[in-house]
A and B are shown apart, each in its own frame.
Chain A
Amino acid sequence: MIDQLQFWAVLLCLAFGLFFTFVSTVGVLRLPDVYSRAHTASQTDTLGAGLSLAAVALALGWESTTIYTVLLLFFVFLTNPTAAHAIARSAAESGITPLTAEDELESETPDDGTSAPGDTAVNAGEEGGDHA
């Protein structure tokens, strides 16, 4: 009974870990610019790695090596935001302007008819593509 439970718990953790890693990959591919991609890249490290390591810990059971997985997770949690911040900051330092909702909103709802909304929207999209 306990073995059965442990098996399914490990499987569940692994499945969800893989799921979040998958979502993160999809996010990196779909999101428009470097800043928004950095958001989703951290998903792999937090829940992806977190749940996979939880699965490892469950599979190992109550052993001294189980502590290592907790330590591993701790260090991942320390290094992941540092790396994400370093990427975002260096992007900002090298002058990459984040694509913000304002740009999109402005181009979607022009307050007067003088500007050509279609052009600006296309430009904003291209800009984001260049940076990424």
Chain B
Amino acid sequence: MAAKRVLVPLSDTVTVRQTVGYAVRAALEETDTVEFHLVAALPYDAAVPEGRSLTEDAEQLLTRTENWVEEDVDDTDATVEIETAVVGTNEYLFGPRDFAEVFEAYATSHDIDRIVLDPEYQPGQTAQLIQPLEREFDALGLPYEEAPVDRPARHERLIGGGTERFDQLFATFWISYGFYLILGDPTYPFDLVTGAAVAGIVSISLAYVTFTFPLGRLRSPLRTVRFALYIPYLLYEIVKANLAISVVILRPSMPIEPVLTRVNARVRGGLPLLALANSITLTPGTLTVRADDQRLIVHTLIPGARDDLFDGALERAVRFVFHGRSGARIPTPRERDDTEIIGGDDV
């Protein structure tokens, strides 16, 4: 029987050891000749400043895992080959689809039979990737299985050291205290005392949940100010779009032209993408149907709304909020060819 080829995507998690153990066990139950492909995917281009150290980390992880596999195989009489690889070093991997595509390319070129996934798989510093990744694997038709592992309960997400923790506590405390006083009465001493107590409890228990990213002492307040500037602009856009849609709806002929479009937004990460997708939905005439990383599938109702979307005014405004004025100076989605009109079947 031909050798079975098993692909295990690796990242440095608490369950990676168990995942490898399971992959070995499960494969050896079926056949005696197995080829293990241990692959680490790098989210960043190797040319970025931290690229070298990231690559070294990945290689160390691979060496460690290789030893584990050898350990596990040692007391059996199976023939096992191990191959390791670091993939994605020449491109940026932004989201689950990019990772899935990289693994698919690897699986195809190495004729992989099965993929064993670590349930805690987390290649970047960002959030867990396992569910969207599995969806992408389903879409690509790759067979995968999730390793059954025992994992310790996940406590606070630790990022950074003392000053970052303090910043998070500080920000959470004042946000919750401020909110409490808005609802209460800032001149009433009782509210001031209870508010401080509540804000203290909230910030100690929830600061790590609220901010999963490090705060910048200058950048974060600045973003808040720019967000405050963004709101009137968004309101203006909403009023404009509302009027346009109302005119169309009230015309007896109702000249709508529903079209599904795909826009690749130059906005990255959880919060900026959320702000953009929500703003698009909030303006009548454009509706985010799917937000798949930066690929937004937007349903547009009238040509005017579609043109606005392709001109990317909201995208620029969101970039202004998160990256400042220089970040807002980018070509429109239409100019950089990131727009596409797709058929209704491609949802």
A residues near B, CB below 8 A?
20, 23, 26-27, 30-33, 35-36, 38-40, 42-43, 46-47, 50, 64, 67-68, 71, 77-78, 80-82, 84-85, 88-89, 91-92, 96-103
Contacts and interface: CB of A to CB of B under 8 A. Distances in A.
Nearest to A28: B249
Given A23-B249, A99-B258, A88 B238 contact: no
B258 A89 contact: no
Given A35-B289, A36-B258, A103 B344 contact: yes
A40 B345 contact: no
Contacts of A96: 347
Interface residues of B, number: 38
A20 to B, nearest CB: 6
A120 to B, nearest CB: 14
Nearest to B286: A39
13 contacts: A30-B254, A33-B258, A36-B258, A38-B287, A42-B282, A42-B284, A50-B235, A82-B278, A85-B291, A88-B288, A92-B290, A102-B344, A103-B344
Interface string B288-318: 1111000001010100000000000000000
Nearest to A23: B246
Contact of B289 (A26, A32, A43, A88): A88
A91 B246 CA distance: 24
Considering residues B250, B259, B284, which has the most beta carbons from chain A within 10 angstroms of its beta carbon?
B284
Given A35-B258, A101-B258, A46 B284 contact: yes
Interface in B223-255: 235, 238-239, 242, 245-246, 249-250, 254
A71 B181 CA distance: 13
Contacts of A88: 287-289, 299
Interface string B242-283: 100110011000101111100000000000000001111110
B285 interface: yes
A84 B256 CA distance: 19
A47 B240 CA distance: 11
B141 interface: no
A46 B238 contact: yes
Contacts of A33: 258
Contacts of B254: 30-31
A35 B299 contact: yes
Contacts of B257: 101
B185 interface: yes
B160 interface: no
Contacts of B245: 23, 27, 39-40, 43
Given A92-B289, A98-B260, A103-B344, 14 more contacts: A23-B246, A27-B245, A30-B254, A35-B287, A40-B249, A46-B238, A64-B185, A67-B182, A81-B279, A81-B280, A92-B297, A99-B344, A100-B259, A101-B258
